[in-house]
Amino acid sequence: MSLPAPNLDDRRFQDIVDEAKRRITRYCPEWTDHNVSDPGVALIELFAWMTEMILYRVNQVPDRLYVKFLELVGIELFSAAPARTDLLFTLAAPSPEPIRIAAGTQVGTERGQGEEQIVFMTDEELHLVQPALSACLSRGGGRYEDHSESLRLGGSMVPCFPTLRPGDALYLGFAGSLAGNLIRMHVNVGGVDAPGIDPRRPPRMWQSWDGSDWREARILEDTSEGFNSSGEVTLLLPARHEPLAIGAVRAHWLRCRLVDVVPGQPPYHISPMLESVEAVGLGGAVAAHHAEPAPAELLGTSNGRPGQSFEVRRAPVLSRRPSETVRVVPPRREPSREPEAAHWTEVADFADAGPDDRMFTWNGATGEIRFGPGVTGRDGRIRQYGAVPEEDAQIFVTGYRHGGGRRGNVGAGKLSVLLTSIPSIESVRNLDPATGGVDAETVENAKIRGPLYLRGGNRAVTATDFERLTLEAAPGVARARCLPPNSPGEPVRLLIVPRVDIEPERLVLEDLALPETLESRIKGFLDERRLLTTRVLLDVPSYQGITITAEVHAAPTVRAEKVRTEAESALYRFINPITGGPDGQGWPFDLDLSIGDVFSVLRAVPGVQRAETVHIFLADLRGDLAPEEARQRIRLSSEALFMSVRHRVVVRQ
- Model confidence over 107-156: pLDDT tens digits? 999 987 778 899 999 999 999 999 999 999 999 888 899 988 877 766 67
Name 245's bridge partners: 250
Position 534 scores a pLDDT of: 86
Whole-number Å distance between alpha carbons of 369 and 398: 13
Residue spans of beta strands (DSSP E) within 500-559: 536-539, 542-554
Q: What is the pLDDT of residues 204-262, one digit of tens each?
A: 899 999 998 999 999 999 998 888 888 999 999 999 999 999 988 999 999 999 988 87
Query: Within this chain, do residues 261 and 367 fall inside the same structural domain, yes or no?
Result: no
Of 252, 286, 320, which residue is a domain's last? Answer: 286
Tell whether 176 and 274 lie within a shared domain.
yes
CA distance 470 to 240: 28
Q: What is the pLDDT of residues 360-386, one digit of tens each?
A: 999 888 899 999 999 888 788 888 999
What local confidence, expressed as pLDDT, does residue 388 receive? Answer: 92
> Is the pTM here over 0.75, yes or no?
no
One domain, residues 362 and 491: no
Do 612 and 491 lie in one domain? The reply is no
> What is the reported pLDDT for 8?
61
pLDDT digits (tens, 9 = 90+) for 544-554: 999 999 999 98
Give the pLDDT of residue 1.
34
The pLDDT of 414-439, averaged and rounded, is 91
Evaluate the omega torsion of the peptide bond into residue 162 and state whether it is cis, within 30 degrees of 0. no
CATH number of the domain within which 499 lies: 3.30.300.30
> Would you say residue 324 lies in a domain?
yes
Digit-coded pLDDT (tens) for 22-71: 888 888 888 888 887 888 888 888 888 888 888 777 666 666 677 677 77
Q: Tell me the one-letter amino acid at 353.
A: A
Q: What is the mean pLDDT of residues 260-285?
A: 87
For residue 364, is it within any domain?
yes
Residue 71, φ and ψ in degrees, nearest 5: -65, -40
Residue 308, domain member (yes or no): yes
pLDDT of 398 over the 90 cut: yes
Same domain, 138 and 267: yes
Confidence of residue 648 (pLDDT cuts 50, 70, 90): very high
- For the chain, the straight-line distance linking the first and the last C-alpha, in angstroms and rounded, comes to 50
Structural domain count, the chain:
5
Q: Three-class SS of residue 33? A: coil
Final residue of a structural domain among 286, 309, 342 = 286
Last residue of a domain, one of 268, 286, 304: 286
pLDDT the model gives residue 9: 67
Using 50, 70 and 90 to split pLDDT, how confident is the model at 6?
low
pLDDT of residue 69: 72
In what helix (H) or strand (E) does residue 40 lie, and over which residues does it extend? helix 39-58
Q: Are residues 588 and 555 in the same domain?
A: yes
**pLDDT tens digits, 332-351:** 766 666 667 778 899 988 88
The answer to the question of residue 404 being in a domain is no
Q: At what angle do helices 595-603 and 560-574 cross, to 10 degrees?
A: 130
Range in 210-219, 327-336, 642-651 with the lowest mean pLDDT:
327-336
Q: Over 50: is that where the pLDDT of 3 sits? A: no
- CATH number (domain holding residue 147): 2.60.120
Residue 91 lies in a domain: no
Both 594 and 561 in one domain: the answer is yes
Query: How do residues 465-523 score in pLDDT, each as one tens digit?
Result: 888 888 888 878 888 999 888 888 789 899 999 888 788 888 888 888 888 888 888 99
- Is it the case that residue 596 has pLDDT exceeding 50? yes
List, in sequence order, every beta strand (DSSP E) within 111-239. Answer: 119-122, 126-128, 133-140, 143-146, 158-159, 169-174, 181-190, 204-209, 214-216, 218-222, 231-236
| 409 domain residue, yes or no | no
Neighbours of 459 (CB within 10 A): 12
- Are 604 and 592 in the same domain? yes
Residue 596 inside a domain? The answer is yes
138 touches 151 (CB < 8 A): no
Packing angle, helices 61-72 and 443-456, rounded to 10: 50
Please report the pLDDT score of residue 363 as a whole number.
87
By percentage, how much of the chain surpasses pLDDT 90? 38
Burial 144-183 (b: 16+ CB within 10 A, else e): eebbbeebeeeeeebbbbbbbeeebbbbbbbebbbbbbbb
Average per-residue pLDDT for the chain: 86
List the domain range (segments joined by +) for residue 518. Answer: 457-539
pLDDT of residue 153: 67
541: pLDDT strictly greater than 80: yes
Give the closest residue to 398 by CA, choosing from 462, 470, 312.
Answer: 312
Output the pLDDT for position 64: 65
**Would the CA dihedral through 164, 166, 168, 170 be positive or negative?**
positive
Mind listing the pLDDT tens digit for each residue in 70-99?
A: 777 667 777 888 999 999 999 999 888 999
Which amino acid, residue 188? N
Helix axes 516-527, 463-473, angle to 10 degrees: 130
The SS3 of residue 529 is coil
Q: Annotate 146-170 with three-state secondary structure.
A: ECHHHHHHCCCCEECCCCCCECEEE
Is the same domain home to 156 and 267?
yes
Beta strand 345-346 with 359-362: parallel, antiparallel or unpaired?
A: parallel
Same domain, 266 and 137: yes
* Pair (189, 258) in one structural domain: yes
User: In this structure, is residue 452 part of a structural domain?
Assistant: no
Q: What is the mean pLDDT of residues 277-306?
A: 94
Residues 227 and 270 in one domain: yes
- Position 117 scores a pLDDT of 92
